[in-house]
Structure 1
Amino acid sequence: MTTIKEVAKLAGVAVSTASNAINGNYGVKKETKQKVIEAARKLNYVPNPIAQGLVNRNTGNISIIVSGPSSFNLFNNPVFFEVLRSITQTLNTAGYQAHLNIITTEDEETEIPRIARSRYTDAMILVGSRRNDIDLAQLLGDIDIPVLVVIRSSPSSGVYAVSSDHWNCGYKGTEYLIQLGHKEIAFLGALPGVSIADERLAGYREALEDHGLTYRDSLVIEGDFYQESGLTGIRHMLRQVLRKPTAIFAANDLMALGALEGMEQEGIRVPEDISIMGSDNIPNLHLLKVPLTTISTPFYEIGRLASEKIIGILEGKDDLPEKIVLPSELRVRESTKRMSS
């Protein structure tokens, strides 16, 4: 394989000059650049893209970081599949390579800076972190390549984001249950400091207040957006409260699935005893024994726009907003029921 040294020798210039000429850098005379290009053609010289990337910080690689708690299993969450599929398809079509990194929340402080400093990536897309907004903003603020978070809102200025309207999701889901006649509505998925949970909880609370219903802390259940927390959270709440809810809004479908399991263990029928709805519209909810009512989030579109945003930033032609927020839609199925008069 021909080297840049051989090209420089044939052109009668220094190696650095030959490299600058081939890479299109400033400071090389037109005549000299032409001599180098001619020499490269004669020798069939093909530039090494990795070496070029190390010099120019332009590798064509985008790091996708999927993060979750230590108990986290990527394969348990269909949302990640849809987002990752969309991101990789869009990047590959544009000539970029997607590099997947799966880490735990506990490792974010060391792994995210390490990946950013590796010089083998031009930008970073973060999926699924459960780190609170303040800590995440501090961590990502020290990264010197473009960083974009998906699904959750941006933790700070300078960090790009593509997400759905989480506040509206919480409001719309709660309002639908109110319209069915429910007055005692629980919220499953409180995760303080994490924007996706905080915003959905805020929407839930405002919907209650707008319809003259009382917000009760005893009906707000913690959850980490994984199925097990839905199971344990709902069982704990049902055994503690004196007035059981007639409906539950779960901040995502995985927790709703856990809650369905928990209510079955407690002998509670859905929707006869308690209505429940989720959020996200993950695949196959219509195949459940009781098909789940939910709020649909456009995850494929989120992944596509995230990739297009990063590509636009890297290529200097970005015309998308710094923070992109997409609407969601109600999907009514059989897990919710109108209250009897």
Structure 2
Amino acid sequence: MRGLTFMTDGSVPAGTDGVPKVDGGSAVLSGSAVSGSAVSAGGRASGSRKGPAKTSRVNIRDIAAAAGVSTATVSRVMRGNAKVSEATRAKVRKAIDDLEYIPNAHALALTTPPNSVTLVVDSIVGGTYSEMTAGVEREAAAHNMVFRLISTGGNWSEPEPLLNELLSQRPRVVVLTATDIIGNAFDGVLDQYVEKFASVGTTLVVLARPRMGLSQDIAVVDYANESGMEELTKYMISLGHRKFMFAGLRENSSVFMARYRGFRKALEEAGLDYDPSFEIPLDDDRSTVMANMMASWQSGASDCTAVVAVTDAMALFSIAGLRKLGVSVPDDVSVGGFDDMPFAEDLVVPMTTVHAPFGDMGRMAVRVGLEHPGASIVMPTNLAIRGSVAVPRRS
């Protein structure tokens, strides 16, 4: 598990050397940097005394004395409670700054109502994740909530340590871009944690995939994969395309199989024959996709006038393979994608694609977590028509 805590003001908690604190190769999530009391050889914390949790030599009583207010008032200021005057808030903040007080995040978590949103993603790179992350962060900021981000690196095989860490932080909302693999074991594990999260005031939202077998107590924010791909394919059919190829088959993915179903549904409704032998599998490696596209094209797919790709990346890699063979897009073949990544509109031949509202989905996930636990939402997609799809020059 890798993670960093991002405050809504954009700051990142740091260790004593100013570097984000890392423990055992994984960034430790916390609302602020924590430095505990020194421990003597006998195992006893030096300078320890009874009273509120503290860091270094300053505690909440010291802040209250310096500001001339009660410890309860200091506590309200630290929690962001609105029932404090601006003048009092300023005095407390000044005392905190003057005394260089660093609050203990774990102690605060036990005494403060949940006021954070944690997003768990497979990766922190790529247009899909960056847009969803931005959406979640902006909605959290709009509610004056702390935002945290965790990357699993795509590993959902042993989720218990991650879920236990989340429980210890007591966020108000946990948003997970959980695995969409059909028949995955993670869903069953997450279901077992629903009551545990509810007991600490946390709601769960799964983002950017269908519910599948998830508990009805977990909210789901999905998007229209099947109907979106169906719309793209029907548009290409309306231009006169009759022979199609599909790039990006992945049979164990609920998201990508929904897109494939939409593609096949459009062909069937139009009464068009389809040869699946020319399909190429989904792959993240550009060279592999290019090689597969070239091999398929040379083995008979060259009769096709249209390629429907399961993602914009697959469409881009497919175009690269076709160009190697001297095939021009869209003069010789039209290519359409799905997602509408930031680069799609700025290519030499702008890509026709299905726009997925990833940013809006991120914002919706936070709203659902705060206001409609257990809801099932499907966000609409829309077709972005650009230059990579045109009327076929051959039948």
Deviations 1:20-42 (A, max 9, x none): xxxxxxxxxxxxxxxxxxxx964
SS at 2:363 equivalent: helix
Q: 1:293 to 1:242 in 2, by over 3 A?
A: closer
Deviations 1:143-191 (A, max 9, x none): 3333322222223242322122111011111111111111111122221
Query: So what's the TM-score if we normalise by structure 2?
Result: 0.66
Deviations 1:171-223 (A, max 9, x none): 11111111111111112222113221111111111111100012322133221
Q: 1:238 to 1:142 in 2, by over 3 A?
A: farther
In structure 1, the partner of 2:117 is 62
Matches within 5 A, 1:18-29: none
Of residues 35, 46, 55, the one that matches 2:74 is 46
Of residues 143, 146, 150, the one that matches 1:97 is 146
Amino acid at match of 1:274: V
Matches within 5 A, 1:306-321: 306-312=365-371, 318=372
SS at 2:149 equivalent: strand
Distance 1:238 1:266 in 2: 9
Shift of 1:236: 3.7
Q: Which has the higher helix share?
A: 1
Distance 1:42 1:271 in 2: 71
Shift of 1:272: 1.5
CA contact (8 A) 1:116 1:124 kept: no
Amino acid at match of 2:378: V
Matches within 5 A, 1:221-232: 221-224=280-283, 230-232=289-291
CA contact (8 A) 2:157 2:186 kept: no
In structure 2, the partner of 1:11 is none
Q: Which runs of no fewer than 5 residues in structure 2 stay unpaired?
A: 1-47, 53-67, 80-104, 198-202
Distance 1:254 1:195 in 2: 18
Shift of 1:55: 5.9
In structure 1, the partner of 2:308 is 249
Distance 1:43 1:288 in 2: 59
Distance 2:288 2:187 in 1: 26
Deviations 1:56-103 (A, max 9, x none): 7x44233211116xxxxx43x212111111100111221222211112
Within the alignment, does 1:140 sit opposite 2:197 as a pair? Answer: no
Number of aligned positions between the proteins: 292
Shift of 1:337: 1.4
Within the alignment, does 1:234 sit opposite 2:287 as a pair? Answer: no
Distance 2:376 2:49 in 1: 43
SS at 1:95 equivalent: coil
CA contact (8 A) 2:290 2:321 kept: yes
Shift of 1:229: 5.8
In structure 2, the partner of 1:331 is 384
Deviations 1:100-139 (A, max 9, x none): 111223x3222x3222212114342223745335434234
In structure 1, the partner of 2:160 is 113
SS at 2:193 equivalent: coil
**Identity fraction in percent:** 23
CA contact (8 A) 1:66 1:129 kept: no
SS at 1:300 equivalent: helix
Of stretches 190-199 and 58-67 in structure 1, the one that deviates more from structure 2 is: 58-67
CA contact (8 A) 2:250 2:256 kept: yes
In structure 2, the partner of 1:86 is 135
SS at 1:100 equivalent: strand
Distance 1:224 1:125 in 2: 26
SS at 2:122 equivalent: strand
SS at 2:221 equivalent: strand
Of stretches 246-255 and 281-290 in structure 1, the one that deviates more from structure 2 is: 281-290
In structure 1, the partner of 2:355 is 296
Q: 1:292 to 1:42 in 2, by over 3 A?
A: closer
Query: So what's the TM-score if we normalise by structure 1?
Result: 0.76
Shift of 1:329: 1.3
Of stretches 123-132 and 331-340 in structure 1, the one that deviates more from structure 2 is: 123-132
Distance 1:140 1:230 in 2: 34
In structure 1, the partner of 2:174 is 124
SS at 1:79 equivalent: helix
Q: Which runs of no fewer than 5 residues in structure 1 stay unpaired?
A: 8-39, 69-73, 313-317
Within the alignment, does 1:149 sit opposite 2:206 as a pair? Answer: yes
Distance 2:303 2:178 in 1: 32
Q: 1:169 to 1:238 in 2, by over 3 A?
A: same
Distance 2:290 2:390 in 1: 21
Distance 2:110 2:256 in 1: 39
CA contact (8 A) 1:185 1:219 kept: no
CA contact (8 A) 1:52 1:59 kept: no
CA contact (8 A) 2:331 2:392 kept: no
Q: 1:124 to 1:240 in 2, by over 3 A?
A: farther
Q: 1:256 to 1:191 in 2, by over 3 A?
A: same
What is the alpha-carbon root mean square deviation over aligned residues?
2.9
Distance 2:231 2:331 in 1: 22
Shift of 1:277: 0.7
In structure 1, the partner of 2:267 is 208
